[in-house]
Amino acid sequence: PDSALKLTYGKAFRAPTIFEFNGTETESLDSQEMEMYELNYTHNIQLGENIQLSNTSAVYQMTNSNLYSKVYDAELAAHSTSHFAGWRTVVSGEYEVVGFEDLLKLTYKRLSGFLGFRWVHPDETTVNGEDIANGLPITKIKLGCSYQFLSYLDASLFIDHWSKVESEVNQLDGTGTEVLTIDPWTQVDFNMNIGVFDLESMQATISLYVKNIFD
């Protein structure tokens, strides 16, 4: 009664936008697809009358196929008057990510908190002889705390920290690509919910969300 084991499969797609159609040779692009398998395990422990501890762990594998990328074509640029002259969309294959996530949650009376961790291992991309995890932070840590002040008032604080991100980007002169590095960053968010009234068949809540309160 205190545990759950789940196996999940999902498949999704994203159709190309009008900007991605621009410059294609055949004016046709297959939709990007994402396929995912996930194994998830949750366990709850009651520690005394008012304390509950729960942990959820998940391992997953995702495959993104029909990825798009923009490449510079000098011949196309020479014969085009378009604002996007020289840049065309190509389908560049598959991209696989294997990951692990864990969420530890503790509840004590009106106070609850959680600590989350995520680690991913993606396919690497070679850019100018350098292997990078293209466009993804390898780790993320999330810390959250919530307190129920009154039956109609609660507040929450969330802290997210991402590791650095390295992305392959085009050089604007069309001579190739380079690695753009985004340094690790932290974001702090604040939420508050206020129950205005509660009738037999009607309830209203005002929610206040402050995103990235220190920047």
Token pair 């159709």: residue: 15
What pLDDT is stored for residue 66 in this prediction? 86
What pLDDT is stored for residue 134 in this prediction? 84
Residue ranges, the chain, pLDDT below 70 = 22-27, 80-85
What pLDDT is stored for residue 116 in this prediction? 98
How far apart (Å, rounded) are the C-alpha atoms in residues 9 and 40? Answer: 11
What pLDDT is stored for residue 52 in this prediction? 94
Closest CA to 145 of 114, 185, 169: 114
Q: Which amino acid is at 11?
A: K
What pLDDT is stored for residue 144 in this prediction? 97
**Element housing 170 (H / E):** strand 165-170
Kindly write down the DSSP assignment for every residue of 17-61, as one continuous string: PHHHHTT-SSS--PPEEEEEEEEEEEEEEEETTTEEEEEEEEEEE
CB 125 within 8 A of CB 168: yes
Kindly list the distances between the CA atom of residue 71 and the CA atoms of 16, 22, 68, 175, 181, in Å, as whole numbers in the listed order. Answer: 16, 12, 10, 10, 20
What is the number of helices (H) and of strands (E) in the chain?
Answer: 2, 15
What pLDDT is stored for residue 36 in this prediction? 96
Question: In this structure, what token pair is assigned to residue 63?
Answer: 């495959």
What pLDDT is stored for residue 54 in this prediction? 97
How far apart (Å, rounded) are the C-alpha atoms in residues 130 and 126? Answer: 5
Q: Per residue in 97-136, is it b (16+ CB within 10 Å) or e — as a string?
A: bebebebebbbeeeebbbebebebebeebebeeeebbbeb
What pLDDT is stored for residue 71 in this prediction? 76
Identify the three-state secondary structure at position 123: coil
Neighbours of 88 (CB within 10 A): 19
What pLDDT is stored for residue 128 in this prediction? 82
What pLDDT is stored for residue 89 in this prediction? 80
Give the global pTM.
0.78
Give alpha helix (H) positions in the chain. 18-21, 74-78
